[in-house]
């Protein structure tokens, strides 16, 4: 969850001005907000989320405490592959997250039928990723989704319109599922070489190789 801080500063001579910060992670906002209040010159300091809901400091502390035991700092890589000759698709998802002070990686792939293009396969892979997040009980937080499909990333982020009915339907399904679990998505487009893990998982699904597993990472940079 990201918050912004809004407060009124009062100078020694009584002059006042209102300030608003950028959005930042909840923990950072709480630390900065408490430092601002220590100056003794801040009035009406509030913490606000992207839905303009106001949070009290004790509510943020409770939220952060609960988040320690739940998956958080979630980063998702996804990719879809489509074989024109067979009409089959392969979906690949790799999810990195932290929980109880440890780092984890979850990998999942799956074959898919009934899709008509590589773009549909990419959307299906993103949908699979959201389903897996729901199974991991990821909810009410910001999640980073990383892929190499310009179509999916730009359409889901609102940069491009989705004119094709099939793709628009996928986008709507994904949006609804994200809203139901309270996930605020951040989409990032990367070159294919930086999405190699998800691409490999999708290729293995096309080859009939099933990959499902979760491991604890000893190094936070491990892949």
Write down the domain spans for the chain: 2-68, 72-217
The total of other beta-carbon atoms located within 10 Å of residue 127's CB is: 20
Give the pTM: 0.78
Reported as a pLDDT band with limits 50, 70 and 90, residue 186 is: very high
So what's the pLDDT on residue 218? 82
Reported as a pLDDT band with limits 50, 70 and 90, residue 100 is: confident
Contact (CB, 8 A) for 168 and 162: yes
So what's the pLDDT on residue 219? 67
Q: Is 3.40.50.720 the CATH number for 72-217?
A: no
pLDDT tens figures, 3-17? 999 999 988 888 999
The total of other beta-carbon atoms located within 10 Å of residue 214's CB is: 12
Q: Is pLDDT above 70 for 30?
A: yes
Alpha carbon of 52 to those of 27, 46, 48, 150, 162: distances in Å? 18, 11, 6, 31, 28
So what's the pLDDT on residue 47? 95
Strand 24-25 to 16-20 pairing = unpaired
d(CA 162, CA 41): 50
Span 133-161, average pLDDT: 95
So what's the pLDDT on residue 86? 92
pLDDT tens figures, 40-56? 889 999 999 988 889 99
pLDDT tens figures, 54-84? 999 999 998 888 777 789 899 999 999 999 9
In the chain, what percentage of residues exceed pLDDT 70?
Answer: 98
Q: Is pLDDT above 80 for 140?
A: yes
d(CA 159, CA 126): 17
Q: Is pLDDT above 60 for 213?
A: yes
């Amino acid at each position: 969850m990201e918050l912004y801080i809004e407060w009124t500063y009062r100078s020694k001579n009584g002059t006042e001005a209102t300030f608003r910060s950028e959005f930042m992670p909840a923990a950072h906002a709480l630390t900065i907000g408490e430092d601002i209040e220590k100056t003794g010159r801040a009035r009406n300091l509030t913490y606000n989320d992207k839905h303009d809901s106001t949070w009290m400091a004790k509510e943020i502390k409770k939220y952060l405490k609960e988040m320690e035991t739940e998956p958080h700092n979630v980063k998702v890589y996804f990719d879809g592959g489509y074989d024109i000759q067979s009409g089959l698709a392969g979906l690949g998802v790799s999810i990195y997250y932290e929980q109880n002070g440890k780092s984890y990686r979850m990998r999942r792939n799956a074959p898919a039928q009934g899709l008509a293009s590589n773009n549909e396969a990419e959307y299906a892979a993103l949908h699979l990723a959201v389903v897996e997040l729901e199974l991991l009980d990821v909810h009410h937080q910001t999640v980073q989704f990383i892929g190499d499909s310009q179509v999916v990333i730009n359409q889901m982020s609102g940069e491009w319109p989705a004119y094709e009915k099939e793709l628009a339907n996928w986008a709507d399904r994904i949006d609804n599922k994200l809203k139901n679990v309270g996930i605020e998505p951040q989409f990032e487009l990367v070159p294919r070489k930086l999405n190699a893990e998800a691409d490999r998982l999708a290729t293995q699904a096309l080859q009939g190789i099933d990959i499902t597993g979760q491991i604890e990472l000893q190094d936070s940079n491990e892949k």
